[in-house]
Structure 1
């Protein structure tokens, strides 16, 4: 569980920063993200900011400015619940904000999805 109290977890957006995903939740894992800003993860294949194959619960958070081939903001193959949150300005090949794979379960309530872009 991460209770961010409005704080930010971010990869530097400088060009010289190595490419990496910020969070990866394994099939047996569970992650709770509360009141935190996640940003600038990526330039990876799946899930620039977050890749979920387990159980992830996002409450009152912002997922922003991720970059990835699929699911720049979030790539989901597990159970993902997003509530009272924002997915902003993520950019990728498929699924700018979220890529929900055929094996994934996704619930979004009272949330904003804005300014995300994808090539297809």
Structure 2
């Protein structure tokens, strides 16, 4: 890349960044469900990815590049959610109860219902 062209690219990217980062962050913050740190990381990584492509994309319209950055940031958030899904830790609350305990509870409930039916059958008919 030409040394004289680098400052022009940097200035153009800096102007683009300053013009779009607020709106991009606001949209990504909503996508991240209010997670400020996740939104900041995603936006930062998205602008870095665009910076690497800036020599080719810098000539495009600002709105096209802003949407491009936003799409990258959304995908970064989705990647994080996919990774977090695999890292879910299960606790003892989700443990399977002992089979004997389950059978005892069912038998107790059936016994109560049998007793209720027996008491109802002894009642005199309504007039």
**Fold match, TM over 0.5?**
no
Max Rg structure: 2
Q: What's the TM-score, normalizing by structure 1?
A: 0.19
More strand by share: 1
Structure number with greater CO (CA < 8 Å, separation at least 6) is 2
Q: What's the TM-score, normalizing by structure 2?
A: 0.18
